[in-house]
Amino acid sequence: MIETATINDVESLNRLINSAYRGESSKKGWTTEEHLLGGIRTKEEDLATTILKPDTTILKYTENQEIIGCVMLVKKTDKLYLGMLTVSPDLQGGGIGKKLLKAADNFAKENDYSKIGMTVISVRTELIDWYKRHGYVDTGEKEPFPMNDPNFGLPKQHLEFIVMEKHI
């Protein structure tokens, strides 16, 4: 089931997101950033702040009362921004990510957005290819990675983002 996350979901979301992106548990899945970034992916305080923002929605994917996937959607002026797409490392490859992308498309339509944008670390070619298979295109734009901000993780090499978009 996919529904909007609430402040009561912060602890579970934090555990899920960090397990999918960093540390040993993340190596079970293909979305790990462990080889690129040290530190944690997010903190409970940051997630709580994010959930309470009026322009931000986190959708959660739940099975058997356990959150096993999520995606953050931020309303911008000209497009919906998609970030933090997360699936439990043990369950990646089973279609949950695709369902969350579809839910994001529906959310965009319901909120009168014709475009969804995101940033992806440029060296994450397997992830970029996955998004391309789901209708996203590389815009050619690049954005710097915050190299000295531990809230994004501690880079192990020079990183930058590419900007991707999908027209709905």
Count of structural domains within the chain? 1
* pTM, rounded to two decimals: 0.89
Mean pLDDT by 10 residues, the chain (168 residues): 96 88 56 62 87 96 95 96 91 90 97 96 90 97 81 74 95
Output the domain CATH number for residue 154: 3.40.630.30
Cα 134 off chain centre by: 15
Instruction: Quote the pLDDT of residue 150.
Output: 65
- Closest residue by Cα to residue 98 from 71, 137, 63, 125: 71
Instruction: Quote the pLDDT of residue 24.
Output: 56
> Using CA atoms, how far apart are residues 161 and 129, in angstroms rounded to an integer?
14
Instruction: Quote the pLDDT of residue 97.
Output: 94
Instruction: Quote the pLDDT of residue 28.
Output: 58
> Using CA atoms, how far apart are residues 23 and 38, in angstroms rounded to an integer?
8
Residues spanned by the domain of 105: 2-167
Q: Is 133 helix (H, G, I), strand (E, B) or coil?
A: helix
